[in-house]
């Protein structure tokens, strides 16, 4: 009787070891299944071949070409390092197509956003000398813009240069801030405000949007993007100034005198000026007197 009890106790450790091994194996299998299930949720990135090359125009524009591979849905992509990072937003970018973009840094990154993950599809090196302004020579960034707004109540730039998407990239609320650039100033980035905008001998490398009373562009100023007036905002452009993009008027007045506009003008006939001397509009440099404005709803 005593011997039987001793044998039973000797078998117990063996059974314990077997059970422990079984538990470890089960846990490992469960962890593996969980890892594989997480991997399955990762979105496969599209495989597309793209190129970014400067144009022959002396306005800092580049051409992004789709050379082959998977189609890219614009709503799932973002171009970081260009004026309009959502340049592909409304596009189904397929092989053989191209769009114009304007880099503002020496590296442009194309990012694709899937349902669960995001991937850098491609990085492009940009020669600083091919840009309108060399970003390495501009020290002022969004924090400088924010400090200027806090100090002055408005954004006043005089012979200053800064890189910032005003409003979009600022922590400071500037909804009603007036923007005044003069004496050779340059703002690299999109400008969006509910205040007035006044450019005098200055540049904006980006688009201008305002929902105030007036947008005034004068004295050899340049806008390398669109000018969009919200409802009842007036636009006055003169003095040998240049607009690289479109001009959009919504129930406000438009005045043009000695202006070159490479894009189209979107305005009702009643808002389009009856006289606009020394002004050309559109890709074909049509004389203003012969130009037919486009419907603002088509912008």
pLDDT over 80 (residue 221): yes
**Chain segment 68-79, per-residue pLDDT in tens:** 999 999 889 999
- Full DSSP string of the chain: -HHHHHHHHHHHHHHHHHHHHHHHHHHHHHHHHHHHHHHHHSPPPP-EEEEEEE-SSSSS-EEEEEEEES-EEGGGEEEETBS-TTTTTT-EE-TT-EEEE-B-SSEEEEEEE-SS-EEEEEEEE--GGGSSS-GGG--B-HHHHHHHHHHHSSEEEES-EEE--BTTS-SS--TT--EEEESS-EEES-EEESS-EEEES-EEES-EEE-SSEEEEESS-EESS-EEE-TT-EEEEEEEEEESS-EE-SSS-EEEEEEEESS-EE--TTTS-S--TT-EETTTTEEGGG--PBPGGG-
pLDDT in tens, 137-150: 898 999 999 898 88
Whether this model's pTM surpasses 0.85 = no
Q: What integer is the mean pLDDT of 42-55? A: 88
Res. 123 pLDDT band, cuts 50 70 90: very high
65-112 tens-digit pLDDT:
999 999 999 889 999 999 888 888 888 999 999 999 999 889 999 999
pLDDT at 16 over 70: no
């Amino acid at each position: 009787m005593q011997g039987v009890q001793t044998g039973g106790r000797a078998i117990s450790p063996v059974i314990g070891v077997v059970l422990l091994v079984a538990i470890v194996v089960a846990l490992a299998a469960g962890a593996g299944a969980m890892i594989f299930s997480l991997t399955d949720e990762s979105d496969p990135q599209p495989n597309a071949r793209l190129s970014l090359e400067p144009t022959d125009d002396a306005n800092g524009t580049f051409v992004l070409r789709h050379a082959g591979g998977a189609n890219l849905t614009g709503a799932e992509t973002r171009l970081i390092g260009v004026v309009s990072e959502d340049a592909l937003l409304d596009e189904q970018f397929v092989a053989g197509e191209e769009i114009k973009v304007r880099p503002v840094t020496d590296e442009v990154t194309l990012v694709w956003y899937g349902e669960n993950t995001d991937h850098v599809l491609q990085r492009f090196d940009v020669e600083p000398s091919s840009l309108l302004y060399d970003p390495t020579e501009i020290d002022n960034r969004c924090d400088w813009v924010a400090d200027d707004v806090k100090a002055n109540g408005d954004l006043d730039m005089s012979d200053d240069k800064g890189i910032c998407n005003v409003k979009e990239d600022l922590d400071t609320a500037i909804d009603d801030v007036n923007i005044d650039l003069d004496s050779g100033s340059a703002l690299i980035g999109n400008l969006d405000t509910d205040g007035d905008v006044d450019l005098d001998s200055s540049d904006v490398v980006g688009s201008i949007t305002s929902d105030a009373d007036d947008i005034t562009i004068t004295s050899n100023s340049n806008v390398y993007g669109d000018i969009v007036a919200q409802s009842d905002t007036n636009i006055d452009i003169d003095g040998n100034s240049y607009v690289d993009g479109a001009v959009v008027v919504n129930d406000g007045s438009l005045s043009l005198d000695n202006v070159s506009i490479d894009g189209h003008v979107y305005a009702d006939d009643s808002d389009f000026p009856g006289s606009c001397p020394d002004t050309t509009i559109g890709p074909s440099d049509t004389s203003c007197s012969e130009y037919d404005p486009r419907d603002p709803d088509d912008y």
